[in-house]
Amino acid sequence: MKPIVIKKIFDVLTKRPGRLLSKEFYLRVIRAVQSSIAFKKLQPSDRPRLYFDVTVLSVVDNKTGVQRVIRSVFQEIKPLVKDQYEIIPVSCTAVTKGFLVLQEINLDERKTFKPTKYKISPKIGDVFLSLEQAFVEHLAQEETFREMKESGCRVILTVYDLLPLQLPHCFPYEVKDIFEKWLLSTSNFAEFLSDSKTVQADLLHYLAAKNIKVDNSYWFYPGSDFVQKISTSGQTSAQSLYLRNLKNFKYNFLMVGTIEPRKGHKIILDLFSQLWALEEDQISLTFIGKQGWMVDELIKSINKSKYFNKTLFWFNDASDSFLDLCYKETDAVIIASLNEGFGLPIIEAAQRNCRIIANDIPVFREVSPQECFFLKLTNPIVAFKQLKDWLKEPPQPCLRPKIKSWKETAFQIAKNTHLI
């Protein structure tokens, strides 16, 4: 491992000591120990092998976001390529060389992975496919990836977005550095998969500016056949009162998701504060989501606002049942992200037949239903006028979009990357 990478890992862990106390950190240490004692190479096979990377998923599965993509694609791609490839789940660590072979097992009625004593030894015709965001771990495997490429094994990695490069001020200082090192390092031997046409174009444009030509790049759309499960229920007395009082407003607006800089909460709060200053007190704005990183000042502004708990509301502890009721009562869901890789919140809101107000960015234009209303949030004066136009004549709710299954997503990935 390069000294700069070791230093970066040390910086991340020592300057953010909370990570040292997390369950995920200790699980990764255990996996590193397991990987270090795996000394046998996997026996050769007459069939090509598809090495499917589950580096982070095998340690922690949040069942949302990237983990949902990886788990869903892994399950659906197996029957699609079983005649062409032997499929083997693998993982790596940031402190040991090589990829460890894992075994998929059933544990407590769910599928998980356990380590074996084998490491992979790729050959010509094999494929390494990663939908992970294991940047630090992959940086430590630069030599391994080069050996894969030289042996004739294809290396396909996934870029979900270029946000750390496009919006570095929205992330902790080390994220941009690690992501950029990962991208520039792996571009020497990898083919790239992106989760939208917009991200694919952004990726190729960025690499071209660095005089890097990628051998192959592909795109896919994530599945949207998630079930809106009510796994948590109940509401506080304050939430019950809030729901009862919503009928007193002419329009109720909702933003759902972790409060962090790139999600645009501050811009929307500023726009609505202008409305309320004009005595537009029949309009409510509700944030539902936990506090994320780098928003301490914004949280103070919310709590100290003279409109807080009058026309401005924030709930950081919403149950699924409460959230479901909020969706049903809202007049529009606002999705104000400064940038995104795909825009799953738009699909979620459209599936609930909600009106949608979204920031006018390319990826939202790519994936949004035609009924979506766009705000030019890069120009607050224009956005304020657009918002007032919406209030004069609200558009129709979004029609439910065609649901893309994870089987369709897996087929798209397999077909576009020439696995089938």
Q: Which residues are CB-contacts of 79 (< 8 A; sequence separation ≥ 6)?
A: none
Q: What is the pLDDT of residue 110?
A: 72
DSSP three-state, residue 92 = coil
Evaluated on CA atoms 178, 367, 220, 75, the torsion sign reads positive
Angle 224-337-311 (CA atoms, 0-180°, nearest 5)? 105
- Taking the C-alpha atoms of residue 358 and residue 224, their distance in angstroms, rounded to an integer, is 19
- Taking the C-alpha atoms of residue 60 and residue 67, their distance in angstroms, rounded to an integer, is 8
Q: What structural domains does the chain harbor?
A: 3-223+407-416 (3.40.50.2000), 237-392 (3.40.50.2000)
Our measurement of the distance from residue 314's CA atom to the centroid of its chain's CA atoms, rounded to an integer in Å, reads 23
- Percent of the chain exceeding pLDDT 90 equals 74
- Taking the C-alpha atoms of residue 373 and residue 395, their distance in angstroms, rounded to an integer, is 8
Q: Per residue in 274-295, pLDDT tens?
A: 999 998 889 999 999 999 999 9
Which residues, in sequence order, are bridge partners of residue 285?
253, 312
The pTM of the whole model exceeds 0.75: yes
Q: What is the pLDDT of residue 404?
A: 87
What's the longest Cα–Cα distance across the chain?
74
Alpha helices, H only, 60-127: 65-81
- Taking the C-alpha atoms of residue 64 and residue 123, their distance in angstroms, rounded to an integer, is 33
Q: Which amino acid is at 89?
A: P
Number of other CB atoms surrounding residue 367 within 10 Å: 24
Q: Please list, residue by residue across 319-358, b when 16 or more beta carbons sit within 10 angstroms of its beta carbon and e when fewer do.
A: beebbebbbebbbbbbbbbbbbbbbbbbbbbbbbebbbbb
Q: Which residues are CB-contacts of 204 (< 8 A; sequence separation ≥ 6)?
A: 214, 217
- Taking the C-alpha atoms of residue 411 and residue 259, their distance in angstroms, rounded to an integer, is 34
What angle separates helix 65-81 from helix 406-416, to the nearest 10 degrees?
A: 70
Helix-strand-coil percent breakdown of the chain, rounded to 5?
45, 20, 40
Q: What is the pLDDT of residue 83?
A: 95
Ranges in the chain, pLDDT < 50: 1-2, 4-6, 8-9, 12-21
